[in-house]
Every structure is written in C-alpha cells, then in structure tokens.
Amino acid sequence: MQQVVEPPAKAAVFLVLTVNAGSESDVLEVLADAPGLTRSVSFRAPHDGLSAVVGIGAHLWDRLYDLPRPVGLHPFEEIVGAKHRAVSTPGDLLIHLRARRADLCFELARHLVARLADHATVVDEVHGFTYFDERDLLGFVDGTENPEGADAEAAVYIGDEDPAYVGGSYVLVQKYLHDLDAWNALPVEEQERAIGRSKLDDIEMADDIKPANSHVALNTIEDADGNDRQIVRDNMPFGAVGAQEFGTYFIGYAADPDVIEEMLRNMFIGKPPGTYDRILDFSTAKTGALFFVPTADFLEDPAPAEPADAADRDTPADRTTTDGSLGIGSLQHTNGKGTT
Ligand code: HEM
C-alpha cells in the first residue's frame, strides 16, 4: 500500500492537479513511475523519511480505468451550513509529499511535475512547515488525538468491505485561511473553548465543561455501536507574511470517506444543526476535494485485487515491509526496488 500512516512530518508539499483531456495514458505512465522517482530522491537522503502518497479523484478514475469505482469514491459534495460552507473545488490528482527536510519534498515535487508538465495543470500548491511543537497557526498543538499503530491502520486502510481495493484508502483535503487578527484578539480562555483543549499544555477539557460547538466535541464521533469513528490527520501550517496569508492545510485519511464527511457535517452544519464549529468563525475553507489512494501495486499495474486472495495480497497485517509502505517511502528500499 502507499505509506499513509506516518509520524508527523517536518515538511510537506501538497499538490492538486487537473489532468488535460487526452493525457490519460501519459498520466498512467507517470503514476507507475512515481515510486521510482521517489526512490531516486529518497535514496540520496535515506534517513530523512521522504514519502509520497498519490490520490485519484472520481472523475479522473472514470477516465483512467475501465474498472468499477472504489465504493466510497465520489466527487466531494459541498456542505453548506447556515453560516459557513465547505466548498468543493476541482482536483483529479493529489500528491502529498512528506519528509523531515523541505528540500526533499521540493525536489520530488519538481520531478513529478516535470513529468506531468504537458499532461496536467497544478491548480493548488501548498508548502507546509512545522510550527514549534506541532502547532497550527492558531497556536494550538494539532494532531495529538490521532490514532496510532494498529488503530491508525484500521482507520485508514480499506479491508473486506471493498475486496477489489483492499489496502487502498481515501483522502480529503481542504485549504483553510485564518483571520489571525480576529483570532488573536480573543482571550486565550475563549480560544481554548473554541478548540476544546488548553493552549499551552494541550490538555483536553473535561466533557462537562467542553463546549458543544468546540472543534474537539464536534469531531469526536461514534458509530451506532459506540465505537470511535477515526481518521488520520497530518495537517500543516503554511503562509505568506507579505500577503498576510495564514493557513492550515487539512488532510485526513480514512478507510471510509463518510467518516471524514460526518466530521465536516458536524463542523459546518452543526450537531445539533446550528451548533457549528467555532473555529470556522476564524477559518475559511478555500478548497475541498476527495481522492482514492490506491495501493502502490495498483499504481504500477492497475488491476483489482482478486477477491479470493484479497486477504493475503496487500493488507496491513501481511506486507513485506515493516512500516506500512510498499515502495513509496524511503527507509525500506534496501533491495533497490522497494515495491511488492
Ligand atoms: C482550520 C482547520 C483545522 C485546524 C486548525 C484544526 C486543529 C485541530 C486541533 C488543534 C485539534 C486538537 C488536537 C488534536 O487532537 O489534534 C484538532 C483535533 C481534531 N480535528 Fe481538527 N483542525 C482543523 C480541521 C479539521 C477538519 C476539517 C477535521 C475533519 C474533517 C478535523 C478533525 C479533527 C479530529 C478528528 C480531531 C481529534 C478529536 C479528538 O478525538 O479529540 N479537523 N484539530
């Protein structure tokens, strides 16, 4: 599979592209070569954790493959609340690059975009950085309650519910811009009530004092049996001081995109309706798109998994590397191939 679960990155590049009409077969070739390009860059800095994840949007899927769509893949539908809107914006391909050094992400982005240059247009490009102790530009530590280990893998990788695409995942991205002047004019206590955690030491508020419109309250969700519905996030701050642009690039991975979409409904419409997420009064979603993340095997040789052997073909519990990557990361390329 592609390396979706990672420790928090130090640097990231997020590219969203649209694919030109008629360029489908060229794009398929670039997708097949993406693991090789990643190895070319990561092998020169093997301890700096470069990884690449490629996602494919619903419209492009139908153009590229004569195969059924993965069950959860659809164009992201905008979510309109009484006050705030989660927009849906164009995107055929998502490229999510992470490393401990910005130069590695930049170099790989350069090579991938050079290969795609005549075939696709970059419609959004964000270079994210680590801000102190994993803080967002609102000043809060972001990522604390991400699931880890087996819980993270269960949250993100498709299992038997879609046998043709076991080991795949879904990823939803939104680029948010913050009104930092307005946010910083709030007393810290009010900021903490918006997030649901303390600012300095990142401790969650007790349930009886955590406001219903806090970010944490609205994003803590359960299924009908009381099990947590979880996603894996790797948000990054970004910005430009001259332009007074201060942002959070939200990226969430899940085995079922409805988990992410339920969180978005809670945030934008509110739970109950009207109790929308207070951070949206200071954060505007400028983009929004959903992608399917196929396995690395699939990128190199597109074919559905055989249902009969799906269980042992490419599952989290049965891969040939130790960290969840089957070839698009950096630390498992000792055989010089890095694929399964
Ligand atoms: C402006 C954009 C956003 C910012 C600045 C932000 C920031 C934060 C912060 C500071 C936390 C608390 C610490 C943590 O557990 O990570 C948090 C938690 C969380 N956020 Fe966000 N977030 C943003 C957007 C989103 C979106 C769009 C979603 C879902 C679609 C989301 C889902 C979650 C979840 C699931 C948690 C953990 C809740 C828990 O179990 O305690 N976030 N976020």
Ligand 1 site residues, Cβ closer than 6 angstroms? 136, 138, 140-145, 174, 176, 195, 197, 215-216, 219-220, 231, 233, 248, 250, 252, 260, 263-264, 279, 283
Cα(170) to centroid(ligand 1), Å: 17
Residue type, 69: R
- Look at residue 76 in the predicted model and tell me its pLDDT: 98
Cα angle vertex 338, ends 333, 339, to 5°? 170
Q: What is the pLDDT of residues 302-322, one digit of tens each?
A: 987 765 454 444 444 443 333
Query: CB burial class (10 A; 0-12, 13-18, 19+) of residue 221?
Result: middle
Q: Peptide bond before 316: cis, by omega within 30 degrees of 0? A: no
Specify the residue with its C-alpha closest to ligand 1, atom 34. 219
- Look at residue 303 in the predicted model and tell me its pLDDT: 84
CA atoms within 13 A on the CB side of 157: 25
Specify the residue with its C-alpha closest to ligand 1, atom 32. 219
Angle at which helix 102-116 crosses helix 24-42, to 10 degrees, equals 150
CB 25 within 8 A of CB 190: no
Backbone torsion region of residue 49, taken as left when φ is above 0, otherwise alpha when ψ lies between -120 and 50, otherwise beta:
left
Residue 188 burial (CB count, 10 A)? 12
Cα(103) to centroid(ligand 1), Å: 27
Cα(219) to centroid(ligand 1), Å: 7
CA 178 to ligand 1: nearest atom: 1
Q: What is the pLDDT of residues 117-156, one digit of tens each?
A: 999 999 999 999 999 999 999 999 999 999 999 999 999 9
Q: What is the pLDDT of residues 5-18, one digit of tens each?
A: 999 999 999 999 99
CA 172 to ligand 1: nearest atom: 30
Mutation test residue for ligand 1: of 236, 250, 259, the one with most atoms within 8 Å of CB: 250
Closest CA to 127 of 140, 147, 108: 108
Cα(1) to centroid(ligand 1), Å: 25
142 is catalytic: yes
- Look at residue 258 in the predicted model and tell me its pLDDT: 98
Give the strand pairing for 245-254 and 289-293: unpaired
